[in-house]
Amino acid sequence: MDDFSDFYSSRKDRVLRVVGAASGGRDAGIEDAVAEAFARAYAGWSRVSRHPDPTAWVMLTALNIQRSWWRRIRREVLVSTFSDPAPVADRVDVPAAVQSAIAELPRRQREVLAFRLLGDLSPAATAAALRISESTVSVHLSRALATLRARLTPAADEPAVRAPRDAVDQAARAAGR
Site size toward other proteins (CB under 8 A) is 78
Q: Judged by CB under 8 A, does residue 94 bind other proteins?
A: yes
Any alpha helices (H) in 44-157, and if so which ranges? 45-48, 54-67, 69-73, 96-103, 107-113, 123-130, 134-152
Give the one residue of 29, 105, 109, 111 binding other proteins; rule: CB under 8 A: 111
Give the one residue of 79, 124, 171, 172 binding other proteins; rule: CB under 8 A: 79
Write the burial class of residue 12 (CB in 10 Å: 0-12 exposed, 13-18 middle, 19+ buried): middle
Q: How far is the CB of 97 from other proteins (least distance, A)?
A: 9
Nearer to other proteins, 91 or 177 (CB): 91
Q: Footprint of other proteins on residues 124-163 (CB under 8 A)?
A: 128-132, 145, 148-149, 152-153, 160-161, 163
- 125 CB-side CA count, 13 A: 18
Write the burial class of residue 22 (CB in 10 Å: 0-12 exposed, 13-18 middle, 19+ buried): buried
Q: How far is the CB of 117 from other proteins (least distance, A)?
A: 6
Cα 30 to Cα 20: distance, rounded to the nearest angstrom = 6
CA 6 and chain centroid, separation: 19
Give the one residue of 3, 28, 47, 170 binding other proteins; rule: CB under 8 A: 47
Contact pattern from residue 1 through residue 40 relative to other proteins, giving x for each residue in contact according to CB under 8 A and a dash for the rest: ----x--xx--xx-xxx--xxx-x------x--xx--xx-
